[in-house]
């Protein structure tokens, strides 16, 4: 720790957090760099609505959310927050909270309804995103744009099963990306290709809990399909990164990368080497799977090659050269993180479709100790020390500046008064921001900014409208927006804490 960082720690305000499960956590009000950016994040399908409005085509989520029997709690996002029609109001709301950055995604099927490289462009969809970007820029809010946040056009899935055909998907994604770069790139300086390819691969193509819902019960070859999907995402990312660098960056001067999600993992039994190894292996199977090819230009991690064998695709010579070239173009590491788990090495032989490295995850260790207080979802525990450790792990492995592109916790309170006075969420944010401060000043990690998930309560995928992650409350009958106390907490916290000296302290 530097002398200045020591002074900051000594001067920090410490408060006990008496959690619902009896945990005592400390909140240390450490500073953040003066140029540290803060903002909020959303995904198109979760907030836009306007499912068929102005020529929008169907996405795999439009299909999935209307399946019978329902796999989404009987709910869909046909209207959700109606952001498509209320966007000017939402931009003004963000401006009132003094956000620096708004990370959002473009709905591929809104701008190319049928998705393919030879399919027509929907100019009304283009106009919507142009207006959104213009309004953000006018309010000095930086647009950070994600090209793909889980909502592939249904038409390309019908044609060739989207990610399951690498060559076809790559060609269609390249055309879609070029369209977005050419129409929006003069004002967008940070691009994200894919949001959470791990989730696309495992949750959508192995256990079937997300669109398109592929799983063993549906006849899916779950032994190989998830790894093919991940392979397609990596190759398509690299192709689009190189297109941006060669064709658009010279005039637009922007940056591009990918967003990876991941828990941190602690050993289930800290005295067992097998569990210590399991925690590291789980990180590699979760993050290294994508991070090593994308950021290092390497093959899949050796641990995965050894364990998965022929289940894991081989990169062709052309693909190997592509990912090697693209690795040096990625400008930042986009990190989505919510919680920490324990990892236990399983003594029994793995299932033939195992994707974990034969590891069991839990929120309780060998001594019955919980990893942290539970939020509105059982798996999401408050464990800020794990967040700090993950920041260090990622920085050491990839040595790229980190932007925390999603972080937050849900509440299940629907009663207005309780939902708005969200003390639990405020404390979560405070603890996780402190973890960032410690990582910056004590561990030497370069963290550039933070986006809270989410701007507003929205459609939480297969969970429907139950979990509420928003810092703004949405009444889904009237669609009225009401900032929660956490929104004001974040606004005021970033005002007061961005007072540190330069990042190389």
Q: Which residues are marked as active site?
A: 196, 406
The residues, ordered by sequence, that sit 6+ positions from 262 with a Cβ below 8 Å of its Cβ are 198, 283, 286, 287, 335, 336, 337, 390
The closest alpha carbon to 406, from 467, 340, 335, 461, belongs to: 335
Check residue 344 and report its DSSP letter. Answer: E
Report d(CA 176, CA 57) in Å as an integer.
Answer: 14
The residues, ordered by sequence, that sit 6+ positions from 3 with a Cβ below 8 Å of its Cβ are none
Report d(CA 46, CA 463) in Å as an integer.
Answer: 11
Q: Which residue has the tokens 């980190």?
A: 402
- The two beta strands, 481-483 and 472-474, are antiparallel
Q: What is the largest CA-CA distance in the chain?
A: 62
In Å, how far from its chain's centre is CA 343? 22
Tokens of 68: 């019978």
Residues 205, 209, 213, 215: is their CA dihedral positive or negative? positive
Report d(CA 238, CA 258) in Å as an integer.
Answer: 10
The residues, ordered by sequence, that sit 6+ positions from 117 with a Cβ below 8 Å of its Cβ are 171, 172, 174, 175, 176
Q: Which residue has the tokens 């931009």?
A: 91
Tokens of 286: 């979760």
CA gyration radius, the chain? 22
Cβ neighbours, 10 Å, residue 14: 9
């Amino acid at each position: 720790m530097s002398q200045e960082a020591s002074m900051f720690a000594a001067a920090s305000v410490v408060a006990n957090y008496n959690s619902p499960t009896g945990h005592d956590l400390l909140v240390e009000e450490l500073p953040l760099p003066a140029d540290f950016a803060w903002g909020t994040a959303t995904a198109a399908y979760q907030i836009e609505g306007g499912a068929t409005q102005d020529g929008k085509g169907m996405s795999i989520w439009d299909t999935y959310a209307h399946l019978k029997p329902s796999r989404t709690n009987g709910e869909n996002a046909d209207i959700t927050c109606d952001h498509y029609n209320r966007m000017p109001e939402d931009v003004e709301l963000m401006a009132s909270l003094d956000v620096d950055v708004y990370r959002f995604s473009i709905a591929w099927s809104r701008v190319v309804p049928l998705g393919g490289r030879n399919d027509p462009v929907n100019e009304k969809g283009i106009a919507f995103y142009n207006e959104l970007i213009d309004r953000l820029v006018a309010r000095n809010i930086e647009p950070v744009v994600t090209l793909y946040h889980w909502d592939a056009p249904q038409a390309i899935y019908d044609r060739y099963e989207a990610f399951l055909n690498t060559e076809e998907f790559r060609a269609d994604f390249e055309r879609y990306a070029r369209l977005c770069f050419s129409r929006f790139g003069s004002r967008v300086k940070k691009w994200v290709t894919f949001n959470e390819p791990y989730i696309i691969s495992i949750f959508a193509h192995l256990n079937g809990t997300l669109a398109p819902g592929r799983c063993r019960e549906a006849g899916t070859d779950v032994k190989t399909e998830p790894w093919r999907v991940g392979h397609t995402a990596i190759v398509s990312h690299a192709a689009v990164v190189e297109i941006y660098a060669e064709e658009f960056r010279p005039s637009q001067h922007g940056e591009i990368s990918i967003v990876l999600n991941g828990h941190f993992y602690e050993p289930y039994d800290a005295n067992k080497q097998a569990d210590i190894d399991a925690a590291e292996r789980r990180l590699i199977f979760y993050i290294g799977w994508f991070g090593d090819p994308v950021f290092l230009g390497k093959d899949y991690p050796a641990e995965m090659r050894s364990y998965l064998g022929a289940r894991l695709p081989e990169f062709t010579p052309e693909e190997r050269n592509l990912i090697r070239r693209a690795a040096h173009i990625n400008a930042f590491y986009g990190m989505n993180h919510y919680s920490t788990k324990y990892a236990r090495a399983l003594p029994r032989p793995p299932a033939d479709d195992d994707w974990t490295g034969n590891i069991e995850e839990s929120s309780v260790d060998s001594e019955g100790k919980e990893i942290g207080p539970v939020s509105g979802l059982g798996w999401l525990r408050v464990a800020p020390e794990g967040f700090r450790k993950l920041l260090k792990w990622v920085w050491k492995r990839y040595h790229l500046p980190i932007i925390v592109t999603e972080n937050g916790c849900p509440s299940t309170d629907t009663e207005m008064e309780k939902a708005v006075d969200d003390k639990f969420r405020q404390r979560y944010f405070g603890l996780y921001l402190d973890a960032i401060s410690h990582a910056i000043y004590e561990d030497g990690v370069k963290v550039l900014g933070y986006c809270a998930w989410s701007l507003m309560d929205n459609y939480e995928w297969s969970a429907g409208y139950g979990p509420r992650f928003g810092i703004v409350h949405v009444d889904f009958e009237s669609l009225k927006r009401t900032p929660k106390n956490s929104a004001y907490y974040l606004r005021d916290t970033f005002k007061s804490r961005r007072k540190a000296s330069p990042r190389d302290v």
